[in-house]
């Protein structure tokens, strides 16, 4: 079935999964609050990750596909760290995006997002309708030369219901004659110009060419965008009473550095078997220029990261192991493999530290057909991080090797800690700087992907026998916020008391249960279907007569009767399976 983000966002609000932060004051962009069901779902996602990575890790046996056995431990580090951490890691100088602002409406945009935003903008769709009548469908407008008509474009620009209302900042709307004259002159000078929609939009947005040439229009108002410029994404703060450069600090943009700077602490305080991993779940903060697509790109988000320290000679094997294992985690929890890809980065995409990176990507409903959004990156970081924190900020030389970056005086630009972060193998008597493999997942993105994947609709009869659309979340039982809902069929004849007894037994067994005695039984089922509850149990007249309970399955709608005393054991069995 086709899914829209509008449907999914509406369900999240209606059933208490996700709310806009500070909604009663109009909200604040890029920040989200998790409601009662969303809190449980996200906690289950975190628990599933930590359970797989740490809690159930067997450091004696060799996992399938792994080169050998290894240790795994957890860590929880501070959100605010010493500023030198971010200088040696490269974030202080390099953690930035290219930003553009609109000269008309003054809004800010991330440069690499402008075109994707334009494709979804109502005024671009309206302008594109000028050409769909000439045999060009919407999907061909962006890469096919168009049969441009100056008269039609002028009419669109002057129309109060189209150009003037939808794109008041567009140069064609503000100055139709002057803009069209500039375009005509260029076409006469270069008649071979192919006017696809992107090229035409740049002409329509810019009255005068800048030094860098034409710019894409503003997605909001159609206005003239500035040239791209760098914008650092870290949130600044200060420690102590005074706000000076000496006590400036930053909210962490990632959790990884906390694990790197504690490498030696973990090694010295724990009986870890090398190679070993350090796993951490925690909040990170990035001052995104254009947060968008619901919780996919936010300014406050939660990461699930692991740093795996290994011998350099084994690092490529471990990289392949973690790449394949992390992809399988998503499919094991219910995401169809058809909606996932494992994409290896091309050389031009690699970060300055990366030897190789692969992304687990998901076909979110807000993506264009055939496009995917990143869920998790698995990076081979080499020895960049430990060396940086030991020696100073590293950079690549002309041969592609890592060297300490120098300032104008020929001294290290940012000095490292000076600590010895090598590993000594007392068996082989070898000392080396470990390589690092980093699987880094977003808890919020994973939660959103599981919601999008689980969203389903079908046609089912209601309490009156009339066919109605049923919306349900087909969540994996391990992730479902509520595992079981308990209903008394009616509020009499001892049914509420018996239902309450079952509810308390489920809770005592550690099974997240919900009790509801209000409304028709069909409506109660529908509410739990939308919440993603896998099983509903009804206490009815037969229960009072023979001691059996009806268990209804969310997905198949099958109803089975089992003895009251076996319900807890049956659900525990189903959850294990």
Is 464 a domain residue?
A: no
> Quick one: 260 and 224 in the same domain?
no
Task: Output the average pLDDT for the chain.
Answer: 91
For 373, the domain range is 5-94+234-450
Give the mean pLDDT of 362-381.
Answer: 94
DSSP 450: H
> Quick one: 216 and 246 in the same domain?
no
Q: Are 238 and 249 in contact (CB under 8 A)?
A: yes
Higher pLDDT, 191 or 24: 24
> Quick one: 224 and 357 in the same domain?
no
Is 467 a domain residue?
A: no
> Quick one: 285 and 411 in the same domain?
yes
> Quick one: 225 and 268 in the same domain?
no
Higher pLDDT, 233 or 46: 46
> Quick one: 156 and 248 in the same domain?
no
Helix (H), strand (E) at residue 489: none
Is 104 a domain residue?
A: yes
> Quick one: 203 and 282 in the same domain?
no
C-alpha dihedral sign at 398, 402, 408, 410: negative
Domain boundary among 427, 450, 473: 450
> Quick one: 197 and 336 in the same domain?
no
The 10s digit of each residue's pLDDT in 393-403 is: 998 887 778 89
Q: Are 105 and 169 in contact (CB under 8 A)?
A: yes
Is 468 a domain residue?
A: no
The 10s digit of each residue's pLDDT in 264-307 is: 999 999 989 899 999 999 999 999 888 889 999 999 999 999 99
Report the distance separating Cα 120 and Cα 292, nearest Å: 12
> Quick one: 379 and 409 in the same domain?
yes
The 10s digit of each residue's pLDDT in 168-177 is: 999 999 988 8
Report the distance separating Cα 531 and Cα 9, nearest Å: 13
Report the distance separating Cα 445 and Cα 196, nearest Å: 34
Rounded to two decimals, what is the model's pTM?
Answer: 0.85
The 10s digit of each residue's pLDDT in 349-358 is: 777 667 889 9
Predicted confidence band at 464 (pLDDT cuts at 50, 70, 90)? confident
Predicted confidence band at 195 (pLDDT cuts at 50, 70, 90)? confident
> Quick one: 400 and 251 in the same domain?
yes
The 10s digit of each residue's pLDDT in 144-162 is: 777 777 888 888 989 888 8
> Quick one: 537 and 393 in the same domain?
no
> Given this model, what pLDDT does residue 44 score?
98
> Given this model, what pLDDT does residue 211 score?
53
The 10s digit of each residue's pLDDT in 60-83 is: 999 999 999 999 999 999 999 999
Is 377 a domain residue?
A: yes
What CATH number corresponds to the domain at position 325?
3.30.930.10
Q: Are 413 and 407 in contact (CB under 8 A)?
A: yes
Give the mean pLDDT of 302-330.
Answer: 97
Domain count of the chain?
A: 3
Give the mean pLDDT of 17-44.
Answer: 96
**Residue 390 CB: number of other CB atoms within 10 A?**
20
> Quick one: 402 and 422 in the same domain?
yes
Give the mean pLDDT of 104-121.
Answer: 88
């Amino acid at each position: 079935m086709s899914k829209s983000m509008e449907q999914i966002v509406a369900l999240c609000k209606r059933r208490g999964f996700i709310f806009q932060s500070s909604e009663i004051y109009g909200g604040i962009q890029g920040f989200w609050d998790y409601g009662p069901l969303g809190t449980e779902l996200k906690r289950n996602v975190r628990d599933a990750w930590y359970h797989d990575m740490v809690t159930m890790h067997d450091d004696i046996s060799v996992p399938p596909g792994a080169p050998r056995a290894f240790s795994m431990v957890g860590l929880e580090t501070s959100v605010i760290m010493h500023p030198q951490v971010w200088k040696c890691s490269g974030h202080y100088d390099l953690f930035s995006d290219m930003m553009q602002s609109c000269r008309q409406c003054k809004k800010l945009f991330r440069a690499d997002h402008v075109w994707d935003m334009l494709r979804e903008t109502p005024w671009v769709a309206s302008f594109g309708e000028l050409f769909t009548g000439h045999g060009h469908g919407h999907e061909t407008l962006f890469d096919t030369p168009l049969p441009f008509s100056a008269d039609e474009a002028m009419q669109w620009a002057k129309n109060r219901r189209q150009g003037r209302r939808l794109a008041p900042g567009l140069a064609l709307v503000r100055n139709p004659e002057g803009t069209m004259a500039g375009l005509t002159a260029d076409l006469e000078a270069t008649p071979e110009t192919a006017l696809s929609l992107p090229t035409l939009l740049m002409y329509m947005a810019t009255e005068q060419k800048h030094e860098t040439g034409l710019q894409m229009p503003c997605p909001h108002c159609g206005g003239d965008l500035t040239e791209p410029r760098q914008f650092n994404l870290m949130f600044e703060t200060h420690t102590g009473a005074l706000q000076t450069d000496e006590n400036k600090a930053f909210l962490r943009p990632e959790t990884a550095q906390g694990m790197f700077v504690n490498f030696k602490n973990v090694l010295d305080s724990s009986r870890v078997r090398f190679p070993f991993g350090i796993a951490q779940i925690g909040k990170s903060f990035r001052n995104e220029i254009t947060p968008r697509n619901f919780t996919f790109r936010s300014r406050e988000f939660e990461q699930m990261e692991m740093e795996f320290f290994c011998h350099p000679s084994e690092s490529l094997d471990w990289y392949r192991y973690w790449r394949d294992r992390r992809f399988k985690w998503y499919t094991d929890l219910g995401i169809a493999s058809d909606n996932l890809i494992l994409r290896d980065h091309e050389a031009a995409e690699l970060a300055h530290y990366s030897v190789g990176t692969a992304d687990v990507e998901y076909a979110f409903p807000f993506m264009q057909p055939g496009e995917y959004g990143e869920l998790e990156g698995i990076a081979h970081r080499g020895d960049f991080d430990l060396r940086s924190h030991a020696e100073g900020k590293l950079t690549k030389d002309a041969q592609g090797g890592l060297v300490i970056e120098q300032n104008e005086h020929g001294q290290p630009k940012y000095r490292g800690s000076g600590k010895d972060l090598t590993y000594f193998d007392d068996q082989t008597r070898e000392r080396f700087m470990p390589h690092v493999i980093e699987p880094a997942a977003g808890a919020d993105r994973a939660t959103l992907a599981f919601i999008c994947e689980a969203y389903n609709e079908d046609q089912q009869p209601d309490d009156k026998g009339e066919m109605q659309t049923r919306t349900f979340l087909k969540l994996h039982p391990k992730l479902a916020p509520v595992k079981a809902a308990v209903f008394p069929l009616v509020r009499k004849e001892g049914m509420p008391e018996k239902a309450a007894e079952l509810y308390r037994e489920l809770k005592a067994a550690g099974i997240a249960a919900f009790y509801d005695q209000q409304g028709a039984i069909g409506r109660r089922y529908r509410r739990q279907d939308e919440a993603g509850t896998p099983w509903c149990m009804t206490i009815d007249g037969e229960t009072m007569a023979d001691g059996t309970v009806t268990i209804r399955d969310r997905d198949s709608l099958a109803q089975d009767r089992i003895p009251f005393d076996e319900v807890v054991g049956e659900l525990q069995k189903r959850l294990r399976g």
